[in-house]
Structure 1
Amino acid sequence: MKRISSLLLVFILTCTYSAYAQKKTTPTFREGTHNFTLQWISWDKPGKVQIRKKNKSTYTIKGEQRDAQSKSFVTIDGTLKVVSSSELVFTGTIKSLYESINEGNVCERTGTYHFLAKGARKYWRLQEMENCEGNNVTDYIDIYFN
C-alpha cells in the first residue's frame, strides 16, 4: 500500500509540474495593448499596438513605434489570424522608415506575412524580414506577448 501511495504521489507531482512548465513557456494570445518594435528604432523604447478580437480566431491590429528624435517609424494595420500560440498570420500593411536605409524612403509591405515565437522569446517576430532596400538589410519587427 505504501508503494502505491508513493507512486501515486510521484505521478501527481509529475503531472502538476508538467502542466506548470507548459503554461509558463507557452505564450497566450490576448486582446489589448502590446509592445511593438523595429530594432533600428529601439528595443528599449517600444511603440504600442492595439489588438482587438474580430471573431473566434481573427483579431485586428493597429499601432506604431516612432522615434521622437528623428522621422523613423514603423506602423502596422490589418488583421491577425491565430494559427497557434506561437504562430500568427498577418494580412494588411506594414510601413517603416529609417533615415539610413532604403535611401530614407518608406518601405511599404502589403499582403500576408507570418509572425513566429521561437524558443524562449517573449515576442512574435515577422518572418519576412528583408527590407525594401534589399542588400541583405533585415528588419526585426516584433509584437510582444505583454
Structure 2
Amino acid sequence: MKKVFAFIVILAGLVQSGFAQDKRQLREGTHNFTLQWISWDQPGKVQIKKNSDGTYKVSGKQTGKGGDFVTIDGTLTVVTFSEMTFNGRIETRYSGVNNGEVCRKEGTYHFLAKGARKYWRLQEMDNCEGNHVVDYVDIFF
C-alpha cells in the first residue's frame, strides 16, 4: 500500500512539474483530414509542424472524384488541447454544392474537439452556397 501511495505522489509531482504531456502541445507530423462530402473513409492528409514562435504550420488536402477537394494552408494556435485558432485559407469544392464552385474561406477560424471525438472540427461551417449547407472540415488527432 505504501508503494502505491508513493507512486501516486511521484506521478502527481511529475504532472504538476510539467513533465507530463502539455495539453497545449500538438503532435507534429501527418494527420488525417476530411470533408464529409468527399469521404470519411478515405481521408486526405495534412502536415503539421511547430514554428519557432510556438504556433503550428498546417498544410494539406483531400481529393475526391470529379475534381472535388478540400485544402488547408495556414497557422494553428493551440488555445487548449480541444481548441485551436486557425489563420489562413481553407478551400472546398464539391460538385453537388455551391453549383460546383470553390468555396474559399480566408482569415481567422476556430477548430474544436468536443466530447469523445478524435478530431478537431472547423466551427465556421457554413458553405458559400448558404441555404443551411454546412461543410464538416475535420483534422484528426
TM-score range, shorter chain: 0.7 to 0.9
Instruction: Give the counterpart of 2:121 among 105, 121, 125.
Output: 125
CA distance in 2: counterparts of 1:92 and 1:45, whole angstroms = 24
| 2:81 maps to 1:85 | yes
Within 5 Å, which residues of 2 pair with 1:55-94? 55-67=52-64, 69-94=65-90
TM-score (structure 2 length as normaliser): 0.83
Match of 1:35 among 32, 35, 42: 32
Q: Distance in 2 between matches of 1:66 and 1:130?
A: 20
3-state secondary structure, aligned to 2:34: strand
| 1:29 CA drift (Å) | 1.6
Corresponding residue number in structure 1 for 2:41: 44
Name the aligned partner's letter for residue 131 of structure 2: N
**Hey, what's the Cα distance between the residues in 1 that align with 2:114 and 2:6?**
30
Unaligned runs of 5+ in 2: none
1:118/1:138 Cα in 2 relative to 1: closer, same or farther (>3 Å)? same
Distance 1:141 1:73 in 2: 11
Q: Structure 1: where are the runs of 5+ without partners?
A: none
| Superposed structure 1 runs of 4+ greater than 2 Å apart | 8-13
In structure 1, the partner of 2:100 is 104
Identity of aligned residues (%): 58
Q: 1:46/1:27 Cα in 2 relative to 1: closer, same or farther (>3 Å)?
A: farther
Give the drift of 1:73. Answer: 0.2
- 8 A Cα contact 1:27 1:122, kept in partner: no
Q: Secondary structure at the match of 1:70?
A: helix
TM-score by length of 1: 0.81
- String of CA shifts for 1:70-127, please: whole Å, max 9, x gaps: 1100000010011111111000000010001001100000000000011100000000
Larger radius of gyration: 1
Give yes or no for contact 2:24–2:80 (8 Å, CA) kept in 1. Answer: no
Cα distance, 1:129 vs. partner? 0.4
C-alpha RMSD over aligned residues: 2.3
